[in-house]
Structure 1
Amino acid sequence: MIIKLRQTITLIFLLCINISFAVSDSLVFNGGTALVGEIKKMEKGVLEIDIPYGDENFKIKWQSIKEIYTKSQFLVSADGKVIYGRLESISDGKVKIFDESETYLICNLSDIVYLAQLKDGFDNRFTATLEAGFNLFKARDMQQFSLRSSAGYHEDKWSVNATYNIIRSSQNETESIKRTDGLLDYKRLLFKNWFGILTISTLSNTEQLIDIRANSQLGVGNYIYSSNKAYLILKIGINNNLERFSNIDESFNSWEGSLSTELNLYAVDGLELSFNYMGYSGLTEKGRYRADLNLDLKYDLPLDLFIRAGFVFNYDNQPAINSVQTDYVFRTGIGWEW
């Protein structure tokens, strides 16, 4: 009886605040505290809500939320499904996703992996990051500069992401080191946890004498595991590899099979660990194998700033003449994200 009375009082309180501030969404935390505002999104275990008395979106751990009530519709990823609807808690830890006439799903709050407000505004669907790093050493007047950038746009069933990274290093009595890589990735949801992918990537690398390596990949992927604490993706496809080396005049074109995995961990507040591995096996060049590995550790700072340390490794068992099979880069930097 006391519990029901407390819930009734909480709902009346939330309703009064909603009317007063003309906002639509409400949250109740595990300790019983209530918060109202406009929910923007929830991803990687963190929910963002715009509250009437704050200048910036308030960020809350998803696991600290006990109840949720929304008036507007959201794109919800839960239990291997993508659903459009409103959310309303019906008991401790349980929530229903529904519209005016139908209930689509009843699940645990912990089963919800992603939540996004259904708005058409560009700001609600666009993301970007920019990171820079610089090192200066007295010995041989050594200078190192790195830049990492990304931008993405997300619709309800598809997304496109682009990255561009450069590294420049110079020192006296040594040739300058230059490395540039770029990526354009299109992903479209097919059904349940499956999605189609179309990727174009480029690499220029003086260490392995690569003037340009352009990969065009078509394939499918699956979310092997997905939660509000981590996700694991497996992708398979076919790749066209166009290459030109700095010590050879002609270009080379070959076809490869590709297999990759992506792991992202974000259970610790503000800390994110991501791992990407891509392996290529020659179809028209029998016996050739290439691999690209990326490992990043990122920590969020106030004001949308972050610090990140990353490791990149490239392997080719049949490199250019007089080149090396491996190249690796370790880099650190501070960045900003939108």
Structure 2
Amino acid sequence: MNIRAVILCCHLALAVPLLARESTDVIVMKNGDRFTCQIKALNSGVLYVSLPYVIETLSVDWSKVARLESKQLFLVKTESGTVYRGVLNSTESSPDRPIKIEVAETPENKVTIESNRIVDISATSEKFFQRFTGGVDLGFIYSKGNQSSQYSLSGLVGYPRERWAVQAGIVSNLSNSNGVPTSTRNQLSFSGLRLLRKNNYFFGGFDGFLQSTEQGIAGQNALGGGVGRYFKNTNRTVFSVLAGGAWQHTEYHPTIVPIANQQVATAVINAHLNLFRFDKTDLNVNAFVSPALSDLGRVYFSTNATYYIKLPANLSWNVSFYGSWDTQPPGTLSGSDYGTTTGISWTFGTSLRTKPNTIQ
């Protein structure tokens, strides 16, 4: 599985989009400052732009923008969950009102939205490979005293469109200490989301793989889906809940008393919380609760929580907590596996995350 982790990270690196283009976008601030730049994205109330004569990407307070225009194609997401595609231009508005952004896919097909209703703007393209987004996170600890080493690796690549999105991700952790068996935990996940006609409702599906030496799991595959809703969707907070079902197949490592493979049908409740602070921090918490339907009384729980502190360029420092629990593990196997990691993250495209949503 560790080789798979390296291979996937190589694929992530090769998937980096070549979004280089001329700096012809224009933004005008409420204090009169004017920039000819390249608009990259809007996330958590921060408009990210690059200037041809500045090395780093600049972070601009979205509420302080008075006017903008760009001929680049963008995906624009609103508080209601609706997503529009097109080039951007601002229209005239009174000084005491939020500016209005015009999103035009064609001259005949355009919509005008107040800026305070927009929660996300991401660059897109007519070209397939230029639509990808994602990131990689690496962490390593070594101690000479007890000859111990730990590493953590995670990667995420996403493909967002107007009404749907898919992502693939990996989270891998290894701990090795002199005289103690090596402990590994690896997750590989694939997921997709489709917006429904009703505002803020969506359908989500997932397929995930888990390996954990601590829990004696040689391989666990979970396939499922459900219907979800965004209860809060603003520039500062995103909170959603999905409810559905899944089918889970688990194979265990050999033990003195053999443990048979298990097939379990479960209900699924998934909660996802994202909290932002202007150009500083980002908290991402994702949790799954899966009560077994074919083995009543048994409950599976898993979570990934990551706190990011933004650094220059596309880098950030992060600290994460991961864990998975089984209330009725077979035999004498452990019912839990959890831990913390810290490291440096690098993102590409418009992503602020480097860890996928939890599947198991």
Of 320, 325, 338, the residue aligned with 2:330 is 320
Shift of 1:44: 2.6
What's the CA shift string for 1:77-123, capped at 9, x where partnerless?
A: 1241222344313213130435434663442x221111234422345
Given the alignment of the two structures, is residue 196 of structure 1 paired with residue 203 of structure 2, yes or no?
yes
Q: Does 65-74 or 224-233 show the bigger shift?
A: 65-74
Any stretches of 5+ residues in structure 1 without a counterpart?
Answer: 1-21
Cα deviation for residue 201 of structure 1 reads: 1.0
- Which residue of structure 1 lines up, in the alignment, with residue 289 of structure 2? 279
| Greater shift in the superposed pair: 25-34 or 174-183 | 25-34
Q: Which aligned pairs between 1:116-127 and structure 2 lie closer than 5 A?
A: 116-122=122-128, 124-127=130-133
Distance 1:253 1:131, change over 3 A: same
* C-alpha contact 1:208 1:320 (8 A) present in aligned 2: no
Aligned residue for 1:269, secondary structure, equals coil
Distance, in Å, in 1 between the alignment partners of 2:313 and 2:129 is 17
Provide the alpha-carbon RMSD of the alignment.
Answer: 2.2
Corresponding position: 1:90 with 2:97: no
Shift of residue 56 of structure 1?
Answer: 5.5
Native 8 Å contact 1:41 1:116 kept in 2: yes
Report the more deviating stretch, 44-53 or 294-303. 44-53
Structure with the higher fraction of residues in strand conformation: 1
Q: 1:265 maps to what in 2?
A: 275
Residue of structure 1 in register with 2:16 after alignment = none
Q: What is the aligned partner in structure 2 of residue 295 from structure 1? A: 305
Look up the match of 1:3. none
Structure 1's 72 and 210: CA in aligned 2 closer, same or farther, altered over 3 A? closer
Residues 37-56 of structure 1 correspond to what in structure 2 (within 5 A)?
A: 37-54=37-54
Distance of 2:83 and 2:134 partners within structure 1: 24
Contact 1:298 1:309 (8 Å CA) reproduced: yes
Q: Which runs of 4+ in 1 moved over 6 A?
A: none
Tell me, yes or no, if the aligned pair for 1:70 and 1:88 is still in contact at 8 Å. Answer: no
1:117 and 1:331 map into 2 onto residues whose CA distance is 31
Unpaired stretches in structure 2, ≥5 consecutive residues = 1-21, 349-360
Structure 2 match to 1:7: none
**Residues 23 and 142 (structure 1 numbering): CA distance in 2 closer, same or farther, change over 3 Å?**
closer
Deviation at 1:322, TM superposition (A): 0.7
How many residues align? The count is 316
Q: 1:76 to 1:320 in 2, by over 3 A?
A: same
Return the letter of the residue paired with 2:201.
Answer: W
Match of residue 176 from structure 2: 170
Q: 1:249 deviation in Å?
A: 4.5
Which residue of structure 2 lines up, in the alignment, with residue 9 of structure 1?
none
Q: Which TM-score applies when normalising by structure 1? A: 0.86
Larger Rg, first or second structure (1 or 2): 1
Cα distance between partner residues in 1 of 2:208 and 2:328: 20
Mean Cα deviation higher: 44-53 or 25-34: 44-53
Task: Please say if 1:224 is aligned against 2:231.
Answer: yes
Instruction: Tell me the equivalent position of 1:35.
Output: 35
2:356 is aligned to none
Query: Quick one: structure 1 residues 169 and 52, their matched pair in 2 at CA, closer, same or farther if it must change by over 3 Å?
Result: closer
Q: CA deviation at 1:326?
A: 2.2
TM-score (norm 2): 0.81
State the identity as a percent. 25
